[in-house]
Amino acid sequence: MSTHYHIGIDLGGTKIEVVILNSQEKILFRERLLTEANLGSEHIFKQIHSLYKKAVVSIQNKTHTLGLGTPGSISQKTHLLKNSNTLCLNGLPLQSILEDKLAHNVAIENDANCFALAEALMGSGRGYPFVFGVILGTGCGGGIVFDGNIRQGAQNIAGEWGHMVIDPQGPRCYCGANGCVESFISGGGLEKRIQDKTGRKISAIDFFNTPLKDESLKKIKQDFYARFGQALANLINILDPDIVVLGGGLSNEKSLYKEGINEVYARIFNDVPTTPIVKNMLGDSSGVVGAALVGQKLTQ
Ligand SMILES: [Zn+2]
């Protein structure tokens, strides 16, 4: 059944956002609430419910599709949510809980996959058949879109490049491995590294925006670009996507597209590397728009 309204919900660790897209991919409605995850899962479901109801009222209860993006993924074996950094939701049958509370079927997808889908269909990746979407935020996520469809992979972990080990002697990651990509080049990983190496608390944004006189900070910056180069070159050497689109807070950092790309290209297994590595176009909206697109796909 075709419908003109596609509701997307982005369930983030700090905020929950809802949008309605029409069939021309125009955003008709947008609203957000704090997740307040510390108040527990029931509170989170209440927040989702209230946003969803507002959205539905705004389209006079008309027929719609519903998609939700979340960190982590639904286990194919147990149908329970796993790997979410909103820890109180892990182990819950998220889909059946939401379908019950919202009285509507819901398509659930990993948030980085939602980002990649939105950028592939409506953003910087439009026109490229094979898009790799990379999130450099608190953590490092990623998603693969091929011919307009998300590739989840056999175990639903495709694109999870944040936990690829690039230095076995590197810092311990919460996943149990040492030296994951995320420990080096996510915003959170970088900030922890600065603190461990210098004892100073500097936000990732300040770190890039203030001139660095301190030699140890300069070294951390060089190391950051080198790790970024290694991590992305590893990806590109395996997948060889048509384009890589960067998202998340750190994607606003301009030097990634100069010094960062130089370090990637120096490590690509090709005499003249050509993979475009570009900033996202949809900004903060890509996750929630992607969630709406995931819901829309269910009806196609
Ligand atoms: Zn890890």
Residues 16 and 92 in one domain: yes
Handedness of CA 210, 217, 251, 285 (dihedral sign): negative
119 inside domain? no
130 inside domain? yes
Q: How far apart are CA 237 and CA 34, in angstroms?
A: 39
Q: Model confidence over 188-247: pLDDT tens digits?
A: 999 999 999 999 999 999 999 888 888 999 999 999 999 999 999 999 999 999 999 999
Residues 49 and 151 in one domain: no
157: CA distance to ligand 1 center in Å? 13
How many domains, in total, are found in the chain?
A: 2
pTM beyond 0.85: yes
Domain holding 174, by residue range, is 126-280
173: CA distance to ligand 1 center in Å? 5
Q: How far apart are CA 293 and CA 68, in angstroms?
A: 10
136 inside domain? yes
Q: How far apart are CA 157 and CA 148, in angstroms?
A: 18
Residues 86 and 44 in one domain: yes
177: CA distance to ligand 1 center in Å? 5
197: CA distance to ligand 1 center in Å? 20
Residues 138 and 269 in one domain: yes
Residues 102 and 48 in one domain: yes
| Total residue length of the chain | 300
Residues 157 and 256 in one domain: yes
52: CA distance to ligand 1 center in Å? 33
Residues 267 and 230 in one domain: yes
Ligand 1 ion: nearby residues, β-carbon < 5 Å: 163, 173, 175, 177, 180
Residues 81 and 197 in one domain: no
Residues 88 and 189 in one domain: no
Contact 168, 179 (CB under 8 A): yes
Q: Model confidence over 113-154: pLDDT tens digits?
A: 999 999 999 999 999 999 999 999 888 999 999 999 999 998
Residues 105 and 130 in one domain: no
299 has a pLDDT exceeding 80 = no
267: CA distance to ligand 1 center in Å? 22
Residues 22 and 163 in one domain: no
Q: What is the CATH number of the domain that holds 158?
A: 3.30.420.40
162: CA distance to ligand 1 center in Å? 7
Element containing residue 110 per DSSP (H, E): strand 107-110
118 inside domain? no
1 has a pLDDT exceeding 80 = no
pLDDT for res 179: 96
